[in-house]
């Protein structure tokens, strides 16, 4: 009975992880295309150039071949960097924590199956 309850809890945690991962992915897409639309209209860039700039800004690559020229574009970029990088880093940390948890479960299972080749006797006087 306890094993089924534990399995159900693990399954629910796994579902929650997938939901959070999907939400983060959707947020990254919204931020990416939201920034691209902003740069298209405010800076007058083509959509491909705007998406290109938005993607390398969010990933902190920053080639520098495109830079905002308007004051509004520069102010938006300041907030865009902090927002986009925060969301991207949260997504990466979410994935990393999942892989660490999987690895921990693997090693706990492996170590639980190890039997030591000797017997310890307690000497009580």
Yes or no: say if 24 and 91 are a contact pair by the CB < 8 Å rule: yes
CB environment 108-117: b (16+ within 10 A), e (fewer): eeeeeeeeee
What's the confidence (pLDDT) of residue 74? 96
Write down the pLDDT at residue 99.
86
Burial class of residue 71 (count of CB atoms within 10 Å of its CB; 0-12, 13-18, 19+): exposed
What the chain holds in terms of domains, given with CATH numbers, is 2-112 (1.10.287.70)
pLDDT of residue 104: 85
> What is the reported pLDDT for 85?
93
Predicted structure pTM score:
0.74
| Residues of the chain falling short of pLDDT 50 | none
pLDDT of residue 120: 57
Residue 34, pLDDT score: 96
């Amino acid at each position: 009975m306890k094993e089924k309850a534990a399995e159900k809890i693990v399954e629910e945690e796994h579902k929650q992880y997938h939901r959070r991962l999907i939400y983060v992915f959707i947020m990254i897409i919204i931020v990416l295309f939201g920034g691209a639309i902003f740069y298209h209209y405010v800076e007058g860039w083509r959509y491909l150039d705007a998406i290109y700039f938005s993607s390398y800004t969010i990933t902190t690559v920053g080639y520098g071949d495109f830079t905002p020229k308007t004051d509004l574009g520069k102010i938006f970029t300041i907030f865009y960097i902090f927002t986009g990088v925060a969301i991207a880093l949260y997504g990466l940390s979410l994935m990393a924590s999942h892989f660490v948890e999987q690895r921990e479960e693997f090693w706990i299972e492996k170590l639980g199956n190890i039997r030591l080749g000797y017997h310890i006797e307690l000497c009580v006087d």
